[in-house]
Amino acid sequence: MPSESVNRRVVTSLQQLEELVMDVTQNDLNRQMQQLIADYKKTGRDEFKYNAEALMEEFDAWWDYETCEFAAPTTTL
């Protein structure tokens, strides 16, 4: 077993859990967008570019830039 210390995040509250989920979600979205843009640059296929743009629009719809938190988008009836 390696003797190296492992950096772990221990969650002891709901707020910490929400922050952890946010970190994972943000990291995943960034990776997905980067991969889509890389695929677009490699292949020139516009569908990769459009998918990255759609993913960013979806992120923007849920991200509240004032509070720096995810929030359900407001809907107008």
Domain ranges of the chain: 14-65
Residue owning tokens 């719809």: 61
Integer CA distances (angstroms), 59 to 11, 18, 72, in order: 25, 17, 11
Q: What pLDDT score was predicted for residue 4? A: 53
Q: What pLDDT score was predicted for residue 43? A: 97
Q: What pLDDT score was predicted for residue 12? A: 87
pLDDT in tens, the chain (77 residues): 455 555 666 888 888 887 888 778 878 888 999 999 999 999 999 999 999 999 888 888 877 778 777 776 665 55
Number of C-alpha atoms within 13 angstroms, CB side, residue 18? 7
